[in-house]
Amino acid sequence: MRARRAGVPVSDEERDQIRDLHGQGLSCNAIAKQLRRSRSTISVQCGQMGLSFSRAETAEAVRAHVTDAKARRAVLADNYLSDAEKLREQLWARAEYKAPVGGMEPTVLSWHQEEPTFQDKERLVRASGLAADKHMKLSQFDSDSGAEHARSMIGKLYEGLLRAVGTDAAQDGG
Protein backbone atom coordinates (compact mmCIF):
# COMPACT_ATOMS: atom_id res chain seq x y z
CA MET A 1 0.00 0.00 0.00
CA ARG A 2 1.36 3.38 -0.92
CA ALA A 3 1.02 6.12 1.67
CA ARG A 4 -1.22 8.94 0.56
CA ARG A 5 0.45 11.52 2.79
CA ALA A 6 4.14 10.83 2.33
CA GLY A 7 6.29 13.66 3.66
CA VAL A 8 3.45 15.19 5.70
CA PRO A 9 4.39 15.47 9.38
CA VAL A 10 2.38 13.39 11.84
CA SER A 11 0.06 15.63 13.88
CA ASP A 12 -0.65 15.33 17.60
CA GLU A 13 -4.19 14.28 16.69
CA GLU A 14 -2.82 11.44 14.55
CA ARG A 15 -0.53 10.35 17.39
CA ASP A 16 -3.59 10.18 19.67
CA GLN A 17 -5.38 8.10 17.02
CA ILE A 18 -2.37 5.79 16.71
CA ARG A 19 -2.26 5.35 20.49
CA ASP A 20 -6.01 4.66 20.62
CA LEU A 21 -5.97 2.18 17.73
CA HIS A 22 -2.93 0.42 19.18
CA GLY A 23 -4.79 0.17 22.49
CA GLN A 24 -7.68 -1.49 20.66
CA GLY A 25 -5.28 -4.20 19.52
CA LEU A 26 -4.99 -3.20 15.86
CA SER A 27 -1.89 -4.30 13.98
CA CYS A 28 0.63 -1.86 12.57
CA ASN A 29 -0.69 -2.57 9.06
CA ALA A 30 -4.31 -2.01 10.12
CA ILE A 31 -3.45 1.32 11.75
CA ALA A 32 -1.46 2.39 8.68
CA LYS A 33 -4.34 1.53 6.40
CA GLN A 34 -6.92 3.31 8.55
CA LEU A 35 -4.84 6.48 8.87
CA ARG A 36 -3.60 6.31 5.28
CA ARG A 37 0.00 6.35 6.37
CA SER A 38 2.89 4.02 5.58
CA ARG A 39 3.59 1.09 7.84
CA SER A 40 7.04 2.51 8.60
CA THR A 41 5.54 5.86 9.68
CA ILE A 42 3.23 4.07 12.12
CA SER A 43 6.05 1.84 13.34
CA VAL A 44 8.33 4.84 13.99
CA GLN A 45 5.56 6.76 15.80
CA CYS A 46 4.73 3.74 17.97
CA GLY A 47 8.41 3.29 18.80
CA GLN A 48 8.64 6.92 19.89
CA MET A 49 5.57 6.45 22.11
CA GLY A 50 6.92 3.23 23.62
CA LEU A 51 4.21 1.13 21.98
CA SER A 52 5.06 -2.34 20.75
CA PHE A 53 3.41 -4.75 18.38
CA SER A 54 4.56 -7.88 20.16
CA ARG A 55 1.89 -10.57 20.10
CA ALA A 56 1.79 -10.86 23.88
CA GLU A 57 1.14 -7.14 24.36
CA THR A 58 -1.38 -7.08 21.52
CA ALA A 59 -3.21 -10.07 23.02
CA GLU A 60 -3.32 -8.32 26.39
CA ALA A 61 -4.68 -5.15 24.77
CA VAL A 62 -7.37 -7.18 23.01
CA ARG A 63 -8.33 -8.90 26.28
CA ALA A 64 -8.58 -5.51 28.00
CA HIS A 65 -10.73 -4.19 25.14
CA VAL A 66 -13.04 -7.23 25.38
CA THR A 67 -13.35 -6.78 29.15
CA ASP A 68 -14.14 -3.08 28.74
CA ALA A 69 -16.78 -3.83 26.09
CA LYS A 70 -18.36 -6.44 28.38
CA ALA A 71 -18.56 -3.89 31.21
CA ARG A 72 -20.15 -1.33 28.87
CA ARG A 73 -22.72 -3.90 27.70
CA ALA A 74 -23.57 -4.67 31.34
CA VAL A 75 -24.27 -0.98 32.00
CA LEU A 76 -26.33 -0.76 28.81
CA ALA A 77 -28.32 -3.87 29.76
CA ASP A 78 -29.03 -2.38 33.18
CA ASN A 79 -30.18 0.86 31.55
CA TYR A 80 -32.54 -1.05 29.24
CA LEU A 81 -34.04 -2.80 32.27
CA SER A 82 -34.57 0.56 33.98
CA ASP A 83 -36.15 1.90 30.80
CA ALA A 84 -38.53 -1.07 30.66
CA GLU A 85 -39.56 -0.47 34.27
CA LYS A 86 -40.16 3.25 33.72
CA LEU A 87 -42.21 2.61 30.59
CA ARG A 88 -44.23 -0.09 32.36
CA GLU A 89 -45.05 2.28 35.25
CA GLN A 90 -46.53 4.77 32.78
CA LEU A 91 -49.29 2.30 31.88
CA TRP A 92 -51.21 3.14 35.04
CA ALA A 93 -50.02 6.68 35.71
CA ARG A 94 -51.86 9.91 35.10
CA ALA A 95 -51.24 11.00 31.50
CA GLU A 96 -50.91 14.49 30.08
CA TYR A 97 -52.04 15.18 26.53
CA LYS A 98 -51.50 18.19 24.30
CA ALA A 99 -52.99 18.99 20.91
CA PRO A 100 -52.72 22.04 18.67
CA VAL A 101 -56.08 23.68 17.89
CA GLY A 102 -56.97 26.61 15.72
CA GLY A 103 -55.98 27.87 12.33
CA MET A 104 -53.94 30.99 11.76
CA GLU A 105 -53.16 31.50 15.44
CA PRO A 106 -52.92 27.93 16.78
CA THR A 107 -53.01 27.37 20.50
CA VAL A 108 -52.24 24.24 22.43
CA LEU A 109 -55.02 22.45 24.25
CA SER A 110 -53.73 20.59 27.29
CA TRP A 111 -55.56 18.04 29.47
CA HIS A 112 -54.94 15.12 31.84
CA GLN A 113 -56.47 11.65 32.00
CA GLU A 114 -56.33 9.18 34.87
CA GLU A 115 -54.61 6.65 32.57
CA PRO A 116 -53.17 6.71 29.04
CA THR A 117 -55.48 5.82 26.16
CA PHE A 118 -55.64 2.22 24.96
CA GLN A 119 -53.45 3.07 21.96
CA ASP A 120 -50.87 4.74 24.17
CA LYS A 121 -50.90 1.78 26.56
CA GLU A 122 -50.29 -0.51 23.60
CA ARG A 123 -47.29 1.63 22.56
CA LEU A 124 -45.96 1.64 26.10
CA VAL A 125 -46.24 -2.15 26.33
CA ARG A 126 -44.38 -2.54 23.04
CA ALA A 127 -41.64 -0.11 24.06
CA SER A 128 -41.30 -1.69 27.48
CA GLY A 129 -41.12 -5.16 25.93
CA LEU A 130 -38.51 -4.03 23.43
CA ALA A 131 -36.36 -2.55 26.20
CA ALA A 132 -36.74 -5.76 28.26
CA ASP A 133 -35.77 -7.86 25.21
CA LYS A 134 -32.67 -5.74 24.65
CA HIS A 135 -31.76 -6.22 28.30
CA MET A 136 -32.13 -9.99 27.99
CA LYS A 137 -30.11 -10.24 24.76
CA LEU A 138 -27.26 -8.17 26.16
CA SER A 139 -27.28 -10.17 29.40
CA GLN A 140 -27.31 -13.51 27.57
CA PHE A 141 -24.55 -12.41 25.19
CA ASP A 142 -22.00 -12.20 27.99
CA SER A 143 -23.37 -15.01 30.15
CA ASP A 144 -22.88 -17.79 27.57
CA SER A 145 -20.52 -20.18 29.32
CA GLY A 146 -19.83 -22.21 26.21
CA ALA A 147 -22.62 -24.67 27.01
CA GLU A 148 -24.06 -24.40 23.50
CA HIS A 149 -20.66 -25.17 21.99
CA ALA A 150 -20.28 -28.17 24.30
CA ARG A 151 -23.76 -29.46 23.39
CA SER A 152 -22.88 -29.14 19.72
CA MET A 153 -19.65 -31.08 20.17
CA ILE A 154 -21.38 -33.80 22.17
CA GLY A 155 -24.08 -34.04 19.50
CA LYS A 156 -21.45 -34.47 16.78
CA LEU A 157 -19.62 -37.06 18.84
CA TYR A 158 -22.87 -38.97 19.41
CA GLU A 159 -23.68 -38.93 15.68
CA GLY A 160 -20.18 -40.18 14.88
CA LEU A 161 -20.51 -42.99 17.40
CA LEU A 162 -23.86 -44.00 15.95
CA ARG A 163 -22.36 -44.14 12.48
CA ALA A 164 -19.39 -46.16 13.72
CA VAL A 165 -21.57 -48.58 15.69
CA GLY A 166 -23.99 -48.90 12.78
CA THR A 167 -21.11 -49.72 10.41
CA ASP A 168 -19.58 -52.24 12.82
CA ALA A 169 -22.94 -53.85 13.54
CA ALA A 170 -23.61 -54.26 9.82
CA GLN A 171 -20.16 -55.81 9.29
CA ASP A 172 -20.61 -58.21 12.25
CA GLY A 173 -24.02 -59.23 10.95
CA GLY A 174 -25.85 -58.01 13.98
Residues 6+ apart with CB under 8 A from 21: 30, 31, 34, 35
Q: Which helix (H) or strand (E) holds 141?
A: helix 118-143
Q: Could you tell me the pLDDT band of residue 147, with boundaries at 50, 70 and 90?
A: low
CATH 3.30.1460 fits 12-53, yes or no: no
Secondary structure of residue 108 in the 3-state scheme: strand
Q: Which of 20-24, 56-60, 94-98 has the lowest mean pLDDT?
A: 56-60
What mean pLDDT is predicted for residues 146-154? 68
Residue 27 has pLDDT above 60, yes or no: yes
| DSSP code, position 112 | E
Residue 104 has pLDDT above 60, yes or no: yes
Share of the chain above pLDDT 90, in %: 56
Residue 86 has pLDDT above 80, yes or no: yes
Over the chain, what is the mean pLDDT?
A: 86
Q: Which helix (H) or strand (E) holds 97?
A: strand 95-101
pLDDT, tens digit (0-9, with 9 covering 90-100), for 38-57:
999 999 999 999 988 877 76
Secondary structure of residue 11 in the 3-state scheme: coil
Per-domain residue ranges of the chain: 12-53, 70-143
